[in-house]
Amino acid sequence: MRKLWVCLGLLGLVVYMGGCETCDTCYDDWGDDCRDRQAPAVPTGVASITGDTYVVVYWNEVVEDDLAGYGVYRSRYDRGPYKRIGDVAWDEETEFWDYDVTNGLTYFYAIDSYDFDGNESVLSYEMVDDTPRPEGWDLQLFTSAFDADESAIAIKPDEGYDTIILLNYQDAWAQYYLAVDGEGLLRFVPKNGNQIQDYGYTGNPDVVDEAPIDGWSHSATGVEVIEGHTYVLRTTSGYYGKIHVDTEGPNWVLVYWAFQGKRWSTELAPPRRGAGFPRG
Torsion on CA atoms 226, 227, 228, 234, rounded to nearest 10: 50
What is the predicted pLDDT for the residue at 121? 97
d(CA 36, CA 234): 55
Q: What is the pLDDT of residues 236-254, one digit of tens each?
A: 999 999 999 999 999 999 9
Q: How far is CA 93 from CA 61, 115, 214, 252, in A?
A: 9, 17, 38, 42
Work out the pLDDT band at 271, boundaries 50, 70, 90. low
CB atoms within 10 A of CB 7: 20
Note whether 210 and 268 are within 8 A (CB).
Answer: yes
pLDDT tens-digit map of 145-171: 999 999 999 999 999 999 999 999 999
Tell me the CA distances in angstroms from 230 to 50, 194, 197, one per residue in order: 18, 17, 9
Domain 47-130 has CATH 2.60.40.10: yes
Decide: residue 16, CB within 10 A, 0-12 exposed, 13-18 middle, 19+ buried: middle
Tell me which residue of 60, 50, 110, 239 sits closest to 163, measured CA to CA: 239
Least confident of 104-113, 182-191, 210-219, 247-256: 210-219
Selected residue with higher pLDDT from 218 and 35: 218
Domain locations in the chain as residue ranges: 3-36, 47-130, 135-259
Tell me what pLDDT residue 14 has.
Answer: 47
